[in-house]
Amino acid sequence: MKRLLRGGRVVDPVNGRDGVFDLLIEDGRIARVGVALKVENDTAIVDVPPGLVICPGLIDMHVHLREPGQEHKETVATGTAAAVAGGFTAVACMPNTSPINDNAGVTGYILGKAAEAKLSRVYPIGAVSRGQKGEQLADIAELRAAGCVAITDDGKPVATALLMRRALEYAGMFDMPVIEHCEEQTLKGDGVAHEGFQASALGLRGIPGEAESIMALRDIALAELTGGVVHIAHMSARQTLDAVRYGKARGARVTCEVTPHHFVLTDEMLGAPLAYDTNVKMNPPLREVADRDAMLAGLADGSVDAIATDHAPHHYDEKQVEFDQAPFGITGLETAVSLCFDRLIHTGVVTLPRLIELLSINPAQILRVPGGSLTEGAPADITILAPDLPVTVVASRMRSMSKNTPFDGWKLRGGVAATIVGGRTVFLNPACSELKV
């Protein structure tokens, strides 16, 4: 079956395209991209309304799908439903499930669930250490053979410098990135919020930005020592951004990601509008204005490589408790694109091609997975964006099983019109009814 997307603005930086092109999908692949492509009889024509943008499928390289083991928070099926509703054609899921994804059995289970769901692509990320205990390396070659694209002990950092060194060396054999949750554990202590005026005033135990940057500096030094590839997850502190810039300047193989909540929100959310709202409790914590502004600067100047959501669903009951008792994390898949448009594009922080680099090209490159371009012959993983769509965030209507978002009720400009995976439309936004894709 052939489908022709006609008349949309195609933004495909890898192939140097930004303009009105026709895009022909055939057998799940991008068959042709060009101006005024000839239409054959067996081709279904989809007229893309003006204003919409056709771009390579977005890839969220940091999500928690919770399955196996925590299916009351999220499953692979509900998580990938949230992903495609958020414009993501692929997600990479973290290994802190129960049991931990430290062996081929768990990896295979996740991939099986993803195949059943038939929504977004799922790239499992394996554990660095067996049981994420920080003692022995997991069977990394086995994980890779089973389909894992990277390794991490996310939720906490790789426990010791020695183990991190070994992980970088060993995974380096496969050119596999080690994704690091940077947090010096003794400095973090029992902290629950960014160490600063807000936490002091509210009587919350603090986590200084240096807890993150110290670990990032350790890992960058080890990446240099080993020649391994380290990716800094969910960067939040301005000191960490400086560490990454330092590492890149020295030629270390380091990349980093920022979440939408860390470039939109600050720790002022702890006190208002809702004091002690557990939906603004995440790790790393929301930091100060200076940190948030540093993240925006890093997104603009190219120091930040990717935007990832750290989608961390938690059940209502788990969040409806005292602030210091609540688990860390918020959902992110279904709000990311709108937040990016509203806070990065419409404010002029980044251009649309740069946003696509952050949300698609670079995640594909960092994880060494397909995608990131609309190259002829590539799988037809395509996101159609609606840059000016008025969006009201309604947590209760989200596809994710969990509703723990601080953005409920927010009005934003920009959203997702449709998501196409392997040539198949897996999401069509009812608010974009003029698009018949």
Partner 1 sequence: MRKDLLGIADLTPEEIYRVLDTADAMREIGEREIKKVPTLRGKTVVNLFYEPSTRTRTSFEIAEKRLSADTLNIAVAASSVLKGETLSDTAMNIEAMAPDIIVIRHASSGACHLLSRICKSRIINAGDGMHEHPTQALLDAFTIRQHKKRIEGLKVVIVGDLLHSRVLRSNVLLLTMLGADVCVSGPPTLIPKGIERLGVSVKTDVDAAVRDADVIMMLRIQQERMQGAFFPSLREYFNVFGMTAARVRRAKPDVIIMHPGPMNRGVEIASDVADGPYSVILEQVANGVAVRMAVLYLLAGGVEDEAAA
Backbone dihedral region for residue 99 (phi beyond 0: left; psi -120 to 50: alpha; all else: beta): beta
Q: At what angle do helices 161-172 and 210-226 cross, to 10 degrees?
A: 50
Cβ(389)–Cβ(87) below 8 Å: no
Which one, 326 or 412, has the nearer CB to partner 1?
Answer: 326
Positive/negative CA dihedral, 308, 429, 278, 343: positive
Least separation, in Å, of the C-beta of 332 and partner 1? 24
Under rule CB under 8 A, residue 323 binds partner 1: yes
Residue 175 annotated among the catalytic residues of the structure:
no
Residue 381 CA to residue 93 CA, distance in Å, equals 18
Nearer to partner 1, 87 or 196 (CB): 196
Taking only Cα atoms into account, the Rg of the chain, rounded to an integer number of angstroms, comes to 21
Residue selected from 56, 86, 177, 206 as contacting partner 1 according to rule CB under 8 A: 206
Q: Which is nearer to partner 1, 133 or 205 (CB)?
A: 205
Q: Judged by CB under 8 A, which of 196, 260, 298, 379 binds partner 1?
A: 196
Please choose, out of 46-54, 196-204, 379-387, 397-405, the segment that lies near partner 1 by the rule CB under 8 A.
196-204
Rounded to the nearest whole angstrom, what is the least distance from the CB of residue 315 to partner 1 in the complex? 12
- Residue from 309, 280, 239, 240 nearest 79 by CA: 309
> What single string gives the DSSP state of each residue in 147-165?
T---EE-TTS--S-HHHHH
- Shortest spacing between CB 206 and partner 1, in angstroms: 6
201: amino acid identity, one letter: A
**Closer to partner 1 by Cβ: residue 162 or 197:** 197
310, 324, 342, 388: the catalytic one is 310
Quickly count: other Cβ atoms within 10 Å of residue 125's Cβ: 27
Report 275-314 residues binding partner 1 (CB under 8 A). Answer: 275-276
Decide whether 24 or 204 has the Cβ nearer to partner 1: 204
Among 98, 160, 185, 325, binds partner 1 (CB under 8 A): 325
Closest distance of CB 319 from partner 1, Å: 10
CA distance 233 to 58: 18
Could you tell me the CA-to-CA distances from 151 to 213, 321, 368, 417, 423 in Å, in that order? 20, 32, 13, 33, 29
> What distance in Å separates the CA atoms of residue 391 and residue 415, rounded to the nearest whole number?
7
Under a CB-based contact definition with an 8 Å cutoff, are residues 382 and 55 in contact?
Answer: yes
- Interaction residues for partner 1, span 131-190 (CB under 8 A): 189
* Site membership for partner 1, residue 317 (CB under 8 A): yes
Give the distance, in angstroms, between the CA of residue 133 and the centroid of all CA atoms in the same chain: 24
Residue selected from 34, 203, 227, 409 as contacting partner 1 according to rule CB under 8 A: 203
When the beta carbons of 145 and 290 are compared against partner 1, the nearer one is 290
Taking Cα atoms as reference points, which of 312, 251, 274, 347 lies closest to residue 74?
A: 312
Pick out residues in 226-255 that bind partner 1 (CB under 8 A). none
Q: Which of 153, 184, 195, 212 binds partner 1 (CB under 8 A)?
A: 195
Answer yes or no whether residue 40 interacts with partner 1 by CB under 8 A: no
User: With CB under 8 A as the contact rule, which of the stretches 53-61, 108-116, 315-323, 389-397 interacts with partner 1?
Assistant: 315-323
> Applying CB under 8 A, which of residues 204, 258, 295, 358 lies at the interface with partner 1?
204
Total residues binding partner 1 (CB under 8 A): 21
User: Pick from 380, 378, 332: which is nearest to 359 by CA?
Assistant: 332
Of 284 and 363, CB closest to partner 1: 284
Binding site for partner 1 (CB under 8 A): 189, 195-197, 199-206, 275-276, 317, 320-325
Active site residues: 310
